[in-house]
Amino acid sequence: MLLAFDIGNTNIHMGLWQAGKWALSWRARTVTEKMPDEYAVLLRNFLNSADIGFKAITGVVISSVVPALTPAFVELVERYMELEPLLVTYEVKTGVGIGIDQPQQAGADRIANAAAAYTLYGTPSIVVDFGTSTNFDVVSPEGAYIGGALAPGIGVAHDALVSRAAKLHKVDIEPPPSAIGRNTIHAMQSGIFWGYIGLIESLVSRIKNELNSDKTTVIGTGGLARLVSEHTDVIDTIAPTLTLDGLRIIYELNRG
């Protein structure tokens, strides 16, 4: 059984690969102050819900964009599972080339997304990952991760607006009845939601033009992928476990 950790700025996505599928998938809040033992208790409870113990795990792969938590999870795995986890960086085998200016700056989650996109969907491809930031990860026709774009996530944009405007309050992130908001709530929803859709469509269009390919596949993943895809036609497919799939693929390349 393979255990995968995708440690993000807002959530930690954990998945258990068993018998050719993600048998279990959980999310927990990212709390940088937590100790390895505290996360071990949380993980044990998740595993116990499926009658699985630490010793049943045969491999672990970690993607982390939170440097403060990386050693905590390495310690957790080494102490409780007696395994050496595979940490995803640009230096491990990924199945894709890393064609950016400074490979050491490539986020582990973006590398995993590129590996999954290349292996599962072919080239060229664009991954739109909806998280704390909205990441656009691009795989070239030649099969290399060549970078992309980073934009504030819709939740970050919403919170920034509310925190800077005394008379504005939090609203549900959803499309309003019309683009012309006739009250403050609908006006905010229009600017935030439809403005975000416009950002997605514009960046995908520009990236496709630079790739100069008529067969580019656009894959959506992350929290808002499904909602966004219902209101735009630029996303071809939704892959909720794309990052975990990338971690699994990278693990298999490096550990046989």
Q: Which pLDDT band holds residue 246 (cuts at 50, 70, 90)?
A: very high
Lowest mean pLDDT among 42-51, 57-66, 239-248: 42-51
Strand order in the sheet with 217-222: 97-98, 144-152, 133-139, 125-130, 217-222, 237-238
Domain ranges, ordered by start, for the chain: 2-87, 97-247
The label of the residue with tokens 């080494």 reads 78
Encode burial over 9-46: b for 16+ CB neighbours within 10 A, e otherwise.
Answer: eebbbbbbbbeeebebebeeebeeebebeebbebbeeb
CA-nearest of 73, 109, 112, 80 to 96 is 112
- The predicted pLDDT at position 50 comes to 85
- The predicted pLDDT at position 77 comes to 97
| Residue 82, CA distances (Å) to 75, 149, 224 in order | 10, 38, 36
Considering the candidates 6, 37, 51, 109, report the single residue annotated as catalytic.
109
| Arithmetic mean of pLDDT over the chain | 95
Residue 159 predicted with pLDDT over 70: yes
* Topology agreement, domain 2-87 and domain 97-247: yes
Name the DSSP letter for residue 168: -
Q: Which pLDDT band holds residue 81 (cuts at 50, 70, 90)?
A: very high
For the residues 199-217, what does the mean pLDDT come to? 94
- What architecture is the 2-87 domain classified under in CATH? 2-Layer Sandwich (3.30)
Q: What is the pLDDT of residues 6-44, one digit of tens each?
A: 999 999 999 999 989 999 999 999 999 999 999 999 999
- The predicted pLDDT at position 32 comes to 93
Q: What is the pLDDT of residues 92-151, one digit of tens each?
A: 999 999 999 999 999 999 999 999 999 999 999 999 999 999 999 999 999 999 999 999
CATH number of 97-247: 3.30.420.40
Beta strands in 35-143 (DSSP E): 59-64, 86-87, 97-98, 125-130, 133-139
Residue 90 predicted with pLDDT over 90: yes
Establish whether 51 is a catalytic residue: no
The label of the residue with tokens 């505290």 reads 38
The residues, ordered by sequence, that sit 6+ positions from 255 with a Cβ below 8 Å of its Cβ are 59, 86
Q: How many CB atoms lie within 10 A of CB 152?
A: 15
Distance CA 240, CA 21 (A): 13
